[in-house]
Structures are given as structure tokens and as C-alpha cells.
Structure 1
Amino acid sequence: MKTKINFQCLLLTFLTFTMGLSQFIIVGIMNNLSASFRVSISDIGGLVTVFAIVYAAATPIINLSIGSLSLHKVMVIFMMIFSFGNLLTALASDFNLLFVSRIITALSSGPLMSTAITFAAAIAPQEKRAWLISWVFSGFSIASVFGVPLGTWISDSFNWRLTFWTIFFTSIFITILVLYLLPHNLKQSGTHNIFKQLAILKDKRISLGILVPIFNFSAIYIIYTYLKPILINELNFSHGNVIVVLFLYGLCGLASNQVSGRIANMRWEHDLIKVFIIQAISLFFIFASGNLIWLKISAILVMAVTMAMSNSPMQLYYMDIANHYYPQSLVLASSFNSIFSNVGVATGSAVGSYIVSSIGLSGLGIAGSIFSVFAIGILKLLIKYNHNG
């Protein structure tokens, strides 16, 4: 049984790794796409915004429609859609088709993440839930550590399309593994009336809690979306040095996810306040450091360490409330962290795009730090409400 759970954990992590690579690689190949399709960097940055908006808007609608369907079938169907989306990206002949392909990929990514989290919570023993969920989230960080630098190198050395061909064939392989390794009988419990599922959003603990990933990822993605242009245009880094920084960034993100799993079993609200204070300071130093290379790089890596620390505690927070009070909303609740993180991604990348086009890259850090301060305020309100409630 333990061996089987380990294989299932590995599969779910492999799945989120592939999803993370598909989503994040745009950051690493932004300059290449800009040259290939003859559009501006801010237009390519818009792909990040659109992906996140579609993800955040479509995921709850799709999840509310799942009802009593087998989650195994749901995962297989959306893996096939995900594969097609990445195939279309690899074949895109113009920017409009590239745009459509990213929408298709985003439509499938949300339900895939939700079902992956639901499977992780279902197959893990109670004492291992935080650990397993942190590893599922870590797939995205592993994609940042290895996938994005490798995909960037492939794009710079050969062709950006080769990266998406790799993602396509990998996703087909994962679909085959899902067919055989994951349980077929997992379903949502309770009523599947859409309005009764949405009742969870009226809970003040939830409506406050979902603001945490929004402000956290808004702060991060103001910088992360334009990380490659910052390194090349502001710091005059070579493409090789950019790949090294992307690798280090991903490594910090992986550490962040692992710490996230530990925080989830402790006094996580107070710990996250400290994390966001550090985040706000690091983002301010990205602004204040100017062209001081080592200070700016250090601040960027500290920001990366804070990026994912809220993932596991917030995800378990939503799911525990759903388990106890809204069992009909379990799949919906399992998607809250990814949905509202992507609201943050869309907000951050859109704000970043506006700043880049109106002020320039130098103004990104101060904007990010403001969002981190908002996250601190929300956490303090959440602690006060949970204590008094």
C-alpha cells in the first residue's frame, strides 16, 4: 500500500510538473516568442495574463459541473484537452493561434489541478496529507528548477517549438499512467446542486482566505512575468546567465513548497505574516537596488523563497472547512488555491504590463511590495476573525 501511494504521489507530482512547465515556460522564452511572432514583450506578457484569467474564471464553472462524475474520468478527459492545447502551441503559425492555444491549455489546467489535489487528499493518510499536497504543489517548483531553464536553453539553442513538442508527448505519457495508477471510484460526496456548492463562498473564513493567494501571487508575478527582460535589459545578463538565475529561482521555489508543507502543521497564520514581511522587503529592494547586480539578484531569490509558502496551509485551510461544513463543495474547495493564485497571476502580470509600458522595468518592485503589504493586512484580519468567530 505504501509503495502504491508513493507511485501515485510521484505521478501527481509529475502531472503538476508538466502543467507548471507549460504555464511558466512563457516567462523563459518571452524574448524568443516576441521575435518569432513580431510582437512586443508586453504582448507576450499578455499571454500570461490571459492564461491566468481563463484558468481562474473557467475552473470553478467546470468544477461545479463535475457533480457525481468519476474524478478519474474527469482527469483523463482534461489530460487529453491539455495535450491538444500544447500540440496547438507547438504548431501555432501566428500570434492569434498561439493565443487560442494558451486559452485551451488554461481551460484544462484548472480542473486538472483540482482533481490532482482531491486525489492527493483522498489517497494520503491523515498525518501525511500536508506532506503529499506540498509535493503536488512542488511539481510547479520542480518545473521552475529544471523545466523552465532547460526549456529556455532549448528555445535559445534550437527552437521554442521543440519545448512544446516535449510537453505534448510527456502529457500523453502521463495520461496513460493516470489510466492505470489512480483509483477509478473517487467521487464528490453530498448534493451536487450548484447553488449549494457555491454556499461555501458565503463563509467569511473563505471569502477572507481566498484573498491571501491573490495578493501573494500578484506581488510575485509583477516581477516574475518580466524576470527575463529585467535580467537582460537592466542587468545586461547573457542568455546563459539568465538560465542560471532561472534555475536558482526554481530551486528557491522548490524549497518554498517544502517549507509550506511544514508550516501547514504549525501556527501557519502567524508564520505567513513573517513570510510576507520578508517578501515585501525583498520586493522593495528589487526596486531600490537599481543596477547593483548582486543586491537585485539576492532580492529576487529571497522573493522566490517566499512565493509558495502559503500553498499547503491555505489549501488545507479551504479543504478542512469544506470537509466539516460543505462536503458538497470539496472539489470546488480543492481548486481555491490554484484559482485565486491565478487571479493573483493575472492581476500581477497585468499590473506589471502597465508599469512596463508606462514607467519601465524599474517600477515593478515597489508595486509588488505594496501587494505584499495587502497580504499581511488580510492575514491579520483572518486571524482576528478566526479567533473571535
Structure 2
Amino acid sequence: MPIALLALALGGFGIGTTEFVAMGILPEVAEDYGVSIPTAGYMISGYALGVVIGAPVLAAVGARVDRKHLLMALMGAFTLGNLASALAPNFEFLLAARFLTALPHGTFFGVGAVVAASLVPVTKRAQAVSLMIAGLTVANIVGVPLGTAVSHAFGWRATYLLVTAVGVVTLLALAAWVPSQKPHPGTSVRAELGALKRGQVWLALAVGAVGFGGMFASYSYISPMMTDVAGFGAGAVTLILAVYGVGMTLGNLVGGRAADRWSLMPTMYVCMAAIAAVLLLMHAVASYKAPAVAAVFLLGFAGSALIPSLQMRLMNAASDAPTLAAALNHAALNIANAAGAWLGGLVIAAGYGYTAPNLMGAGLAVVGLGLALVSGLLDRRSPGGGPGAGAVRGAAEPAHAH
């Protein structure tokens, strides 16, 4: 695989670290600014909001920009946002900094997915995309625990300075390894936004927002599930989350290979069904330590295995506007994060206990599977096999040299 994929994965590592480490440093942030932990949690929801808003806007605005230059501009903004977070003089400034840091998130992955797909043969495109996304999954194994440890030792500001350093290294790697890549001559803001008129694009986004929301309904409450139900001590939660991260990393790589060697839609069907099955399993074994940890691993594996095929499905459904489609995938996943956590919280608040979000999540995953099946059925009825049969425009084009 081309070394340029390492630069893209490094960017994914930095983005994943800054997104997920917020959960681990909330107490320090709350104490430093004299706010409650729930109030400090606004920095998490503010980041998610930034991803949802930034993905379509920046992808459309940057449609005619050289993809390498756009990636560097996005990573530059991300790096400055983390530096501003580290230096935030008050909580309101920190909220604004987290929102601005999140704006490039979805577009970086969207542009990066198109670039990654362009660097390899058509038969390896999903694997290339999965290698870029691997940076995000590895962040859950290395970046988040490291960032949390740095926060405990040197303060939460040091954590954001560490991510700032990752951003600087990523900028250097992008400059050195990613080839210049001009957008297709017909690319425009109108063409990118025109992809939103297609039903298959919205169906794919719905699969991600609803189906992946099932996974987040459970994942958001893994900590109390593991302590109050399975009986682990609070100190074990970090290791359990690392197990989840290992599952994510392996599932992402296996999912990318399956999407290339098998086909996109069957891979999506299997992954959505697997998420539902694993959530039902987790509900059944949550009281038993070893099986509960195994179920956490399987949840990370099944959920992450879905992402490469979902990413490629969107890029194919909007083959003449792949950047926007790929960026919107991450907006949909952040909607899944927020909605899944909210729905999981509702069943807990209703008195059904900490395992109830697993059943809620399984139901959402089944709905996501139904949406995927509808999308596949529409493919068969359309001439030429639908979007899954086509290739992303520009994904097989040779990259322009420096």
C-alpha cells in the first residue's frame, strides 16, 4: 500500500484522539473552570455539532481545490483548533475552540477517502479506505489512554498540546507523501450538492445514522454496565475500552477486505445483522465478566467492520460527488453517536437498567439492516445495477505528481 495512506491514517489518529479523549478529561476540565461535569460535557456535544455542520459545508466549498492542498488546510485548521483549546482562558472559549476544531473532521475523512481510493487499484479501494480509518480506531487503543494519562500527570491542557503536535507531524507527512491531486474538471459546488437529490445517498446515510446508532446506544453506557452489572472495578474500564478499540481496529481491516473481495451490499447486511446479534448477546451475558468483555470486543469488531463498506457505498451512490458523500458519512456517524446515546439514556431513565440500551441498540440495528435491504432491492430494480455497480469518479484516476 502507498506510504501516503500512512499520512492519512496519522491524521485520523489525531482526529480520533481529540474526539474521544474528551470523555477521559472531563473531570479535570470541570474542576479547572469551576463548572459541573454535565456542563463540561457540552464540549463533547459541541464537537459533534461541529462535525455535522462542517462536513457538508467544507466538502462543498472545497470541491474545486487540489485535494492535497485541501487536506493540508483542513489539518492546519484542526491543529490550530487544538492549540486554541490548550490555551483557552475560559470555558466559553474552550467550547468555541472545540466546535471549530470539529469543523474539518468529516471533510478530512471524506477527502482522504477519495484520495486513498485513487492511490490503489479498483479491487483494493475499500481496503485503502479502511487503512486510513485505522488511524481513528488505533486512537481508541493508544491515543485516548495516552491522552488521559497525560491529563492526569500534567493537566488537560497538555493533552491538547500533544494532539497539536500530532497535527504538526501530520501536516509534514501530508506535504511529503501525498501527491497533488486535481479534482475532476466537472466538479463544482452545485455538482457536489446535487448528490443530495439521490434517494440512495439518503438511504446510505440513514443506514449509518440509525444502524450505527444502535452500537452507540450500548457503547455510551459501557462504563456503568461493566462496573454496576458485570462487577468490574472502575480502574478496569480503561482496559475494557482498549479491548473495544482492538476490536474496532481488527473489524475495520476485515471489513475493508470483505467489501473488496466479496461485495459492498452483502458486507453491509452481514455487519448490520452482526451488530444486532452482538447487542443481544451483550444483554444476555452482561452479568458475567469474561463473556461481557468478549462481547465488548465483538461489538467494536462488528461496528467498525461496517464503516468501509458504508463509506464506499456512499461514494459510489454519489460517484460524481464522492467527497461530499464520504464527508457526510462521518456526519451521519456523529448523529448516530448523539441519537444512540440519547435513546440509550431514555431506557435507563425509565428504570429498565444499564443493560436495556443493548436491546434498544439491537432494535436500531435491525432497522438499519432493513434500510440496507431496501437500498439493495432498489439496486436490482434500477438499470445497470445501481450505485453499487459503479466506481467513484476520480477514484481510479492516477494522482498528479508534485
TM over 0.5: yes
Matching residue of 1:222: 217
Aligned length: 380
Distance 1:101 1:233 in 2: 35
Task: Say whether 1:336 aligns with 2:297.
Answer: no
For residue 308 of structure 1, give the secondary structure of its aligned residue in structure 2: helix
Correspondences of 1:266-345 after superposition (within 5 Å) = 266-289=262-285, 291-323=287-319, 327=320, 329-345=321-337
- Paired residue for 1:244, among 239, 243, 251? 239
Distance 1:236 1:114 in 2: 40
Distance 1:231 1:32 in 2: 23
Q: Does the 8 A contact of 2:17 with 2:140 survive in 1? A: yes
Q: CA deviation at 1:90?
A: 2.1
Distance 1:16 1:229 in 2: 28
Task: Say whether 1:78 aligns with 2:74.
Answer: yes
Correspondences of 1:194-205 after superposition (within 5 Å) = 194=190, 196-205=191-200
Q: CA deviation at 1:221?
A: 1.9
- Paired residue for 1:375, among 365, 368, 382? 368
Note the residue ranges of structure 1 that are not aligned, 5 or more in a row: none
Matching residue of 1:53: 49
- Paired residue for 2:171, among 169, 175, 195? 175
Distance 2:184 2:130 in 1: 22
Distance 1:45 1:225 in 2: 13
Correspondences of 1:1-389 after superposition (within 5 Å) = 6-37=2-33, 39-194=35-190, 196-232=191-227, 235=230, 237-238=232-233, 240-265=235-260, 266-289=262-285, 291-323=287-319, 327=320, 329-354=321-346, 359=351, 361-389=354-382
Q: Does the 8 A contact of 1:115 with 1:331 survive in 2? A: yes
Q: Relative to structure 1, is the Cα distance of residues 179 and 118 closer, same or farther in structure 2, using a 3 angstrom cutoff?
A: same
Distance 1:347 1:56 in 2: 13
Q: 1:20-45 CA distances to partner (integer Å, 9 max, x unpaired)?
A: 11111123334544555555554455
Q: Does the 8 A contact of 1:200 with 1:322 survive in 2? A: yes
Q: 1:228-267 CA distances to partner (integer Å, 9 max, x unpaired)?
A: 4444555564454222112211100001101111221214
Q: Which 4+ runs in 1 deviate beyond 6 A?
A: none
Q: CA deviation at 1:79?
A: 1.4
For residue 305 of structure 2, give the secondary structure of its aligned residue in structure 1: coil
Q: Does the 8 A contact of 2:255 with 2:306 survive in 1? A: yes
**Root mean square deviation of aligned Cα:** 2.6
Identify which range, 176-185 or 37-46, moves more after superposition: 37-46
Matching residue of 2:396: none
Distance 1:254 1:239 in 2: 24
Distance 1:178 1:358 in 2: 49
Identify which range, 206-215 or 285-294, moves more after superposition: 285-294
Q: Relative to structure 1, is the Cα distance of residues 120 and 351 closer, same or farther in structure 2, using a 3 angstrom cutoff?
A: same
Q: Does the 8 A contact of 1:116 with 1:136 survive in 2? A: yes
Q: CA deviation at 1:290?
A: 5.3
Q: 1:274-307 CA distances to partner (integer Å, 9 max, x unpaired)?
A: 3323322332344454543334333222211111
Q: Does the 8 A contact of 1:148 with 1:246 survive in 2? A: no
Q: Does the 8 A contact of 1:59 with 1:111 survive in 2? A: yes
Note the residue ranges of structure 2 that are not aligned, 5 or more in a row: 383-402
Q: Relative to structure 1, is the Cα distance of residues 38 and 231 closer, same or farther in structure 2, using a 3 angstrom cutoff?
A: farther
Q: CA deviation at 1:77?
A: 1.8
